[in-house]
Structure 1
Amino acid sequence: MLSSSRKEMVAEEVGLDNAQDDRDMHRLGKSQQFKRNFRFYSILGFTTTLMATWESILLTSTYGLTDGGRAGMIYVYIASFVGFFAAVISMAEIASIAPTSAGQYHWVSEFAWPRSQRFLSYLTGWLSVLGWQAAFASICFLCGTLIQGLLVFNYSTPGDYVYVYERWHGTLFTMAIAAVGTLVNTYGAKFLPPLEGLILALHLGGFVAVLVPIWAMSPGQASSTEVWKEFTNSGSWPSIGLACLVGQLTPIFSWTGPDAATHMSEEVRNAASIVPWCMVSTALINGGLGFIMLVTLLYNMGNLKDVLEPASGFSFIPAVKHATGSRAATNGVAAIILVMEVCSAISILATSSRQTFAFARDNALPFSRYLAHVNRRTQIPVCAVLVSSMITVLLCLINIGSTAAFNAIASVMIAALFTTYILSIAAFVRARFQSDGLPPSHFSLGPLGLPINLFALGYLCFAIIFTFFPTANNPTPVDMNWSIVVFGFVVIFAILQYLVHGNRVYQAPVTQVRKTE
Structure 2
Amino acid sequence: MNEDLRASEGLEKLGYKQELSRSRGLMHILFTYGLAAPIATSLIGGGPATMIWGLVLVSALTLTLALSLAEICSLYPTSAGAYYWTYKLASPRTRLLLSWINGWMTLVGVWTVALSVNFGTGQLIVAGAGIFHPEWVATAWQTYLIYLAVITFSSAVCLFFNKYLPLIDVVCAWWTGLGIIGKFFLSLFQVTCTNAQPSVTLVALSAEAKAGRRSAGYALGHFDPSSSGWTPGWTFFIGLLPPAYTFSAIGMIASMAEEVHKPSEQLPHAIVLSVPVGAISGLIYLLPIVFTLPDTATLLAVASGQPIGVMYTLIMGSNGGGFGMWFILFGVGIFCAVSISCAASRATWAFARDHAVPFSYTFARVAVPPRTSDPIPVNAFLLSTAVQVLLGLIYLGSSTAFNAFVGVAVICLGLSNVMPIFVSMLEGRRHVARAPYNLGAWGMPLNAIACAWILFAIVLFCMPTVVPPTPQTMNYASVVFVGFGLLSAAWYLIGK
Q: 2-side partners of 1:121 and 1:387: how far apart?
A: 21
Q: Is the 8 A contact 2:71 2:432 kept in 1?
A: no
Give the alignment partner of residue 140 of structure 2, picking from 150, 167, 174.
Answer: 167
**Aligned counterpart, 2:363:** 371
Which residue identity is paired with 1:452? L
1:221 deviates by: 2.4
Which residue identity is paired with 2:395? N
Matching of residues 125-164 of structure 1 within 5 Å: 125-157=103-135, 163-164=136-137
Q: Is the 8 A contact 2:52 2:220 kept in 1?
A: yes
**Aligned counterpart, 2:466:** 472
Answer yes or no: is 1:296 the counterpart of 2:288.
yes
Matching of residues 442-461 of structure 1 within 5 Å: 442-461=436-455
Residues 347, 252 of structure 1: alpha-carbon distance in 2 compared, 3 angstrom cutoff? same
1:475 deviates by: 1.1
Q: 2-side partners of 1:130 and 1:32: how far apart?
A: 25
Q: 1-side partners of 2:464 and 2:343: how far apart?
A: 29
Give the alignment partner of residue 28 of structure 1, picking from 14, 17, 28.
Answer: 14
Residues 346, 391 of structure 1: alpha-carbon distance in 2 compared, 3 angstrom cutoff? same
**Aligned counterpart, 2:199:** none
1:149 deviates by: 1.9
**Aligned counterpart, 1:269:** 261
Give the alignment partner of residue 487 of structure 1, picking from 455, 462, 481.
Answer: 481
1:260 deviates by: 2.2
Q: Is the 8 A contact 2:352 2:364 kept in 1?
A: yes
Residues 312, 399 of structure 1: alpha-carbon distance in 2 compared, 3 angstrom cutoff? closer
Residues 178, 238 of structure 1: alpha-carbon distance in 2 compared, 3 angstrom cutoff? closer
What does the per-residue CA deviation read over 1:52-110, in whole Å, with 9 as the maximum and x for residues that have no partner? 2xxx3233211011122221222222211111111011101111110100000001111
Residues 34, 444 of structure 1: alpha-carbon distance in 2 compared, 3 angstrom cutoff? same
**Aligned counterpart, 1:10:** none
Residues 286, 135 of structure 1: alpha-carbon distance in 2 compared, 3 angstrom cutoff? same
Give the alignment partner of residue 348 of structure 2, picking from 356, 369, 380.
Answer: 356
Q: 1-side partners of 2:435 and 2:429: how far apart?
A: 16
Q: 2-side partners of 1:133 and 1:227: how far apart?
A: 36
1:236 deviates by: 4.3
Give the alignment partner of residue 277 of structure 2, picking from 270, 281, 285.
Answer: 285
Which residue identity is paired with 2:456? F
Q: 2-side partners of 1:223 and 1:326: how far apart?
A: 23
Give the alignment partner of residue 69 of structure 1, picking from 47, 66, 71.
Answer: 47
Q: 1-side partners of 2:206 and 2:152: how far apart?
A: 36
1:39 deviates by: 1.6
**Aligned counterpart, 1:323:** 315
SS in 1 for 2:427: helix
Matching of residues 80-229 of structure 1 within 5 Å: 80-157=58-135, 163-213=136-186, 214-219=205-210, 220-229=212-221
**TM-score by structure 1 length?**
0.88
Q: Which has the higher helix share?
A: 1
Q: 2-side partners of 1:276 and 1:433: how far apart?
A: 18
SS in 2 for 1:233: coil
What does the per-residue CA deviation read over 1:169-204, in whole Å, with 9 as the maximum and x for residues that have no partner? 111111111111111111111111122122211111
Query: Where do 5+ consecutive residues of structure 2 fail to align?
Result: 187-204
**TM-score by structure 2 length?**
0.91
Q: Is the 8 A contact 2:183 2:206 kept in 1?
A: no
Residues 438, 312 of structure 1: alpha-carbon distance in 2 compared, 3 angstrom cutoff? closer
**Aligned counterpart, 1:387:** 383
| Paired residues, number | 473
Q: 1-side partners of 2:308 and 2:126: how far apart?
A: 14
1:413 deviates by: 0.7
Q: Is the 8 A contact 2:21 2:374 kept in 1?
A: no
Residues 228, 40 of structure 1: alpha-carbon distance in 2 compared, 3 angstrom cutoff? closer
Q: 2-side partners of 1:438 and 1:182: how far apart?
A: 37
What does the per-residue CA deviation read over 1:430-457, in whole Å, with 9 as the maximum and x for residues that have no partner? 33444xx436322121211111111111
Q: 2-side partners of 1:425 and 1:433: how far apart?
A: 9
Q: Is the 8 A contact 2:312 2:323 kept in 1?
A: no
Answer yes or no: is 1:401 the counterpart of 2:397.
yes
Q: 1-side partners of 2:57 and 2:214: how far apart?
A: 23
Q: Is the 8 A contact 2:44 2:228 kept in 1?
A: no
Query: Where do 5+ consecutive residues of structure 1 fail to align?
Result: 1-14, 158-162, 505-517
1:141 deviates by: 1.2
Residues 147, 438 of structure 1: alpha-carbon distance in 2 compared, 3 angstrom cutoff? closer
Q: Is the 8 A contact 1:83 1:460 kept in 2?
A: no
- With 400-409 and 450-459 compared, the bigger mean Cα shift is at 400-409
